[in-house]
Structure 1
Amino acid sequence: MDNINVTDFLALYDKWIKIVESQLVLLSTDRLEESFDQLRVLEAEKRNTRLMIMEYNASSYDQLDLSAREHLTKSIQKIMSLNEQVEPHIKAWYGEAARDMKQVTTQQRVLTSYGGAQSSDVISLYVDSKK
């Protein structure tokens, strides 16, 4: 893009900020299945916004006046700050999900080891002795 529409260009960064702020709000709530879906939607929207920003070439940035460059710098700093806040939340969410999955796997193994849930075709690996 040779000629840059400064308003549209800066609006893309503002949109990116709003998306990351939405992610942060979502991550601050309880972890639910719907939350993961919403997080995926926001991540896809963020990726699309970044791709639209990348369509501008380096010479486009030279067309920005001082005010626009300052706005852009503040926007990028805000995005970096928000991303730093989002990252630990995502790591915690996925850590909790991993623990939950491990617990389910362990419960399935125990259930299968003792003959399954009311299944007559499974041979139990363990037999509890009665006293």
Structure 2
Amino acid sequence: MGERRETSKSPPIIFDGFTEYHEARQFAAEIGKRDNLHEDVIFSDAMHVAATLALEERGMSYTMPNVAWMYRRVPPKEVRDILELRWNHPDDYKCLPMAGTTERLSSAEMDAAAELAKKLAPEQLDALLFCDPAGSA
């Protein structure tokens, strides 16, 4: 019998942002309780702020197609960090670009958005919500 070699290696750790996403959702829930707002509204507002800051960082203009594009590229850690800022320093959060935009929607607008989110695929939502005036996304 030949010499037995150990060939098994530990698999590489693949980070997918799952932990940061759940931490962000927890922050959103706590902020929602404190501010008497639904946690999805809080989370969406932080996503909007994160996308806006990421666009600024890349030197990209704030257009609806650019926002839709950036939404898919904002890592959960950035959203979590923005929510942590909001939790610890609510007045500083209010100074961030686009902060509070989602919260200013009427209850009818929020209900309509929630229904659309249940029925449409993300690409369809992007086309509906983030299209330019000519209708192309």
Q: TM-score with structure 1 length normalisation? A: 0.28
Pair member with larger Rg: 1
Q: Which structure shows the higher helix fraction?
A: 1
